[in-house]
Amino acid sequence: MANPLVSIAVPVAGVLAASLGTKAAEAGWGAVFGEDAPTTKAQKAAQKDVAARRKQLKKDGASKAEIQAIRDPEDDQPVWKLMLWATISGVVLQGLRMAAKRGAKAGAERLTTRRPRPNRG
């Protein structure tokens, strides 16, 4: 039976590592490429923005050609950038999460296990 402290500390460490790792990866992506990381959240926001711009142009009475000329910037994203983000957000963050879980398990077990009495012969 596992120690309750260990069974609480390990998932918490995994969640914290994933959260901090994702923020660090997005900040690093922004520093290297000068743009937002191609996360699902960013893609949905871009689609929403394009739809709002098209709707506004339609209200303003623009022609169909002008409305269709507005393209989603995510569609112009090179495939290699998407593959790089998939690798970073998948493999690297999963490795970081696993390392945090192992470290938390080892540390919590070390803190909670009983030490034998010193042999004072």
Q: Summarize pLDDT for 80-119 with one digit per residue, the tens.
A: 888 888 888 888 888 888 988 898 888 888 887 777 777 7
Note whether residue 120 is domain-resident.
no
Question: How deeply is 63 buried, as exposed, middle or buried, from its count of CB atoms within 10 A (0-12, 13-18, 19+)?
Answer: exposed
Note whether residue 121 is domain-resident.
no
Q: Please report the DSSP string for 44-91 in residue order.
A: HHHHHHHHHHHHHHHHHT--HHHHHH---GGGGS-HHHHHHHHHIIII
Give the closest residue to 72 by CA, choosing from 38, 48, 99: 48
**Whole-number pLDDT of residue 121:** 61
The answer on 47 and 97 residing in a single domain is no
The answer on 95 and 62 residing in a single domain is no
The distance from CA 104 to its chain's CA centroid, rounded to whole angstroms, is 21
**Whole-number pLDDT of residue 1:** 41
Percent of the chain beyond pLDDT 70?
Answer: 97
The answer on 71 and 85 residing in a single domain is no
State the total domains in the chain.
Answer: 2
pTM: 0.66
- How far is 54 from 106, CA to CA, in rounded Å? 55
- How far is 95 from 84, CA to CA, in rounded Å? 16
The answer on 89 and 104 residing in a single domain is yes
The answer on 59 and 9 residing in a single domain is no
Owning domain of residue 98: 1-38+78-109
- Average pLDDT of 48-58? 86
The answer on 28 and 14 residing in a single domain is yes
- Average pLDDT of 60-84? 81
Single-letter amino acid, residue 108: A
- Average pLDDT of 35-57? 86
- Judge whether residue 2 has pLDDT over 80: no
Note whether residue 116 is domain-resident.
no
Question: How deeply is 10 buried, as exposed, middle or buried, from its count of CB atoms within 10 A (0-12, 13-18, 19+)?
Answer: buried
The answer on 72 and 47 residing in a single domain is yes
Note whether residue 118 is domain-resident.
no
